[in-house]
């Protein structure tokens, strides 16, 4: 039992170290707008994007790969664009069918979110199994497609309900990539991670 506790403590210590380092790297990253456009363009060039009818994008917060500059273009592609928003009271993400950037306002954690008066409209609500392709943010990723988020588990809970044939694609700057990060049993692996420099094939959820 003591060995198990020590192993868990070591894993948590390593997670904290990597999360803090990745955040510092991301904040220090130069040319975020330019690199973000490159990464988002790679996402839209994927065969899975061409084939998808319903695509989940995230709306960037803080120093994440920025999507808000590319979302207006994505809204013109004839696809159903979906964005997540955080339900603070229950610590989970809901999905919203976005049709215009004007439907977004600053919400929890200073993240652009759907206007409160639109969130519960039946035609605006989307369920995870409806997604054909999912864009995923992260604090750090590894070469297996392992992902480390903010530590609150929002995306892990959401992604557990996504169809297995719907690819999960992480977006990151190269400075957020590590050879290997500690993962827990509930952590979800990406099928693909895109950076400004490379495309990293992950083990996905089928491993």
Cβ proximity of 194 and 43 under 8 Å: yes
CA distance 24 to 176: 9
Question: Where is pLDDT greater, at 1 or 190?
Answer: 190
Bridge partner list, 94: 85
pLDDT category of residue 187 using cuts at 50, 70 and 90? confident
Tell me if 173 is assigned to some domain.
yes
The domain spanning residue 109 has which CATH number? 3.40.50.10420
Q: What is the pLDDT of residues 64-99, one digit of tens each?
A: 999 999 999 999 999 999 999 988 778 889 999 999
Give the global pTM: 0.91
Per-residue pLDDT, averaged over 1-8, amounts to 49
pLDDT tens-digit profile of 101-150? 999 998 766 778 999 999 999 999 999 999 999 999 999 999 999 999 88
Q: Is residue 183 in some structural domain?
A: yes
Asked whether the predicted pLDDT for residue 6 surpasses 60, the reply is no
Cβ neighbours of residue 131 closer than 8 Å, sequence gap 6 or more: 54, 55, 56, 82, 95, 162, 163, 166
Highest mean pLDDT among 1-5, 37-41, 59-63: 37-41
Containing H/E element for 114? strand 112-114
| Mean pLDDT across the chain | 91
Domain limits at 84? 2-201
Spatial distance between the Cα atoms of 176 and 174, rounded to a whole number of angstroms: 5
Q: For residue 206, is it within any domain?
A: no
Look at residue 143 and tell me if it is in a domain: yes
Residue 207 placed within a domain: no
Residue 16 located in a structural domain: yes
In the chain, the number of structural domains is 1
> Residue 108: what pLDDT?
64
What are the strands of the beta sheet with 80-87, ordered from one edge? 125-126, 92-98, 80-87, 54-56, 133-136, 168-171, 192-194, 199-201
Distant-in-sequence contacts of 117-125, Cβ < 8 A, 24+ apart: 119/85, 119/94, 123/97, 124/96, 124/97, 125/94, 125/95, 125/96, 125/97
pLDDT at position 207: 47
């Amino acid at each position: 039992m003591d060995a198990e506790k020590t192993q868990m403590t070591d894993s948590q210590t390593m997670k904290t170290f990597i999360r803090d380092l990745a955040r510092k790297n991301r904040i220090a990253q130069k040319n975020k707008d330019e690199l973000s456009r490159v990464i988002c363009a790679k996402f839209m060039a994927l065969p899975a994007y061409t084939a998808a009818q319903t695509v989940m994008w995230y709306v960037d917060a803080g120093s994440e790969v920025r999507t808000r500059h590319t979302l207006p273009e994505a809204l013109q592609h004839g696809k159903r664009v979906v964005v997540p928003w955080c339900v603070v009271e229950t610590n989970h993400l809901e999905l919203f069918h976005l049709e215009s950037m004007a439907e977004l306002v600053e919400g929890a954690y200073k993240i652009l979110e759907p206007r409160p008066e639109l969130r519960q409209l039946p035609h605006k609500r989307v369920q995870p199994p409806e997604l054909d392709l999912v864009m995923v943010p992260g604090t750090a990723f590894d070469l297996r497609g392992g992902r480390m988020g903010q530590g609150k588990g929002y995306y892990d809970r959401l992604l557990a309900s996504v169809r297995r044939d719907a690819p999960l694609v992480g977006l990151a700057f190269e400075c957020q990539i590590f050879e290997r990060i500690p993962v827990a049993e509930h952590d979800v692996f990406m099928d693909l991670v895109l950076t400004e420099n490379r495309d990293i094939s992950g083990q996905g959820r089928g491993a």
